[in-house]
């Protein structure tokens, strides 16, 4: 995984890319900014699956997995927001614009997920916390496709993929794809790994707490 991602980053900087006015070399951000959102979507989907699992089968293990996946997803979502903002400054000419529905709706989506963690801290009882958090997560995960994929596509926007256009399919040069798809795979693998680390930490912590009491 490490070698894979190293290769992706090196190639991402070195391969010749077609010249696109305004974007220029920053078109290489496609390999970094876009996989962030893909990875986030995968993480949140995983969180949703485990939240539904918890509601069917209230084991704390399922709640733990849902929380971890959502944490990692939020991490990548915040990366996506910041990188998007930097990219916007030098292509659209502004750090943040309220004329851009995708930007603002994705920020709203992140806030919904931040409130998931705020909600979790409000309960001391683990069962109660897990149940409310699972219900909230189902709601949060349902809003994401609308906020990120459906509504921005219907509105005029600066971001590619508006006015009923796909964000990606026809307007992306084939050379960019040779790096883009491996980058997506690499970042998702990275997310899976981080997920695993955090989960193992929580399991150990749970065991120590049980021994202590």
Partner 1 sequence: MKFSLIQVQEDTVAAVDTLTKTYSKKWEASAGLEHASPMVKAAASHDLIFIVLGVSLVIWFVLLFFIVRVDKKIGKLEQEIEHPKQN
| By CB under 8 A, residue 82 contacts partner 1 | yes
- Among 59, 89, 122, 146, contact with partner 1 (rule: CB under 8 A): 89
| By CB under 8 A, residue 1 contacts partner 1 | no
Minimum CB–partner distance for residue 45 and partner 1 (Å)? 20
The Cα–Cα gap between 31 and 78 comes to 16
Residues in the chain: 213
The Cα–Cα gap between 76 and 17 comes to 26
| By CB under 8 A, residue 4 contacts partner 1 | no
Q: HSE (CB half, 13 Å, CA atoms) of 185?
A: 13
| Residues of this chain, 151-180, that bind partner 1 according to CB under 8 A | 158, 160, 165, 170-175
Query: Which of these ranges, 53-61, 129-137, 147-155, 198-206, lies near partner 1 under the rule CB under 8 A?
Result: 198-206
String of b and e for 134-171 (b: at least 16 CB within 10 Å)? bebbbebbeebeebbeeebbeeebbbebbeeeebeeee
CB 113 within 8 A of CB 73: yes
Which residue, among 108, 39, 44, has the nearest Cα to 70 in the 3D structure?
44
Query: For residues 48 and 88, which CB has a smaller minimum distance to partner 1 in the complex?
Result: 88
| By CB under 8 A, residue 196 contacts partner 1 | no
Which residue, among 104, 27, 117, has the nearest Cα to 72 in the 3D structure?
117
The Cα–Cα gap between 149 and 61 comes to 31
- Among 10, 14, 111, 118, contact with partner 1 (rule: CB under 8 A): 14
| By CB under 8 A, residue 199 contacts partner 1 | no
- Among 4, 87, 123, 149, contact with partner 1 (rule: CB under 8 A): 87
Minimum CB–partner distance for residue 58 and partner 1 (Å)? 26
| By CB under 8 A, residue 59 contacts partner 1 | no
User: Binding string to partner 1 for residues 31 to 50, with x set by CB under 8 A, is what?
Assistant: -xx--x--------------
């Amino acid at each position: 995984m490490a070698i894979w991602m190293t290769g992706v980053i090196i190639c991402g900087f070195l391969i010749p890319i077609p010249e696109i006015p305004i974007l220029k070399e920053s078109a290489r951000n496609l390999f970094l900014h876009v996989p962030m959102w893909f990875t986030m979507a995968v993480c949140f989907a995983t969180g949703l699956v485990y939240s539904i699992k918890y509601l069917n089968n209230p084991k704390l293990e399922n709640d733990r997995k849902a929380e971890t996946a959502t944490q990692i997803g939020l991490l990548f979502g915040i990366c996506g927001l910041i990188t998007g903002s930097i990219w916007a400054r030098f292509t659209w000419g502004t750090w943040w614009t309220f004329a851009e529905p995708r930007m603002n709706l994705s920020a709203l989506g992140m806030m919904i997920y931040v409130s998931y963690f705020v909600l979790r801290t409000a309960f001391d009882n683990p069962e109660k916390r897990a149940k409310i958090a699972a219900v909230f997560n189902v709601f949060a995960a349902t809003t994401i496709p609308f906020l990120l994929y459906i509504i921005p596509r219907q509105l005029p926007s600066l971001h590619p993929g508006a006015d009923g256009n796909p964000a990606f399919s026809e307007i992306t040069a084939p050379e960019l794809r040779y790096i883009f798809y491996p980058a997506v795979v690499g970042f998702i693998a990275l997310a899976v790994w981080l997920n695993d680390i955090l989960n193992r930490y929580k399991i150990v912590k749970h065991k120590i707490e049980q021994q202590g009491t």
